[in-house]
């Protein structure tokens, strides 16, 4: 998941949708699953964390 994929995932999760994302980097995937941003983008970590309780992410 690149820059666009992570941001899109965060927005879709916040809206309560289920998201399936794939990344070859297990560290990046684990951060996203934990609601942490793998990117240096202001507010993205908070958006991912907010979406964690809204829907499911695989």
Q: Which of 2, 1, 41 is nearest to 57 (CA)?
A: 1
pLDDT tens profile 6-27: 888 888 888 888 888 888 999 9
Confidence of residue 36 (pLDDT cuts 50, 70, 90): confident
Q: Write down the residue that tokens 């560290």 correspond to.
A: 27
Give me 21's structure tokens.
Answer: 């994302």
Question: How many domains are contained in the chain?
Answer: 1
User: Which residues form the domain of 41?
Assistant: 3-52
Instruction: Report the length, in residues, of the chain.
Output: 58
Alpha-helical runs (H) found in the chain = 3-14, 26-33, 44-52
């Amino acid at each position: 998941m690149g820059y666009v994929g992570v941001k899109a995932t965060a927005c879709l999760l916040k809206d309560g949708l289920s998201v399936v994302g794939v990344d070859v980097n297990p560290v990046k995937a684990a951060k996203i699953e934990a609601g942490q941003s793998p990117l240096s983008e202001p507010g993205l970590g908070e958006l991912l964390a907010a979406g964690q309780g809204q829907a499911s992410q695989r």
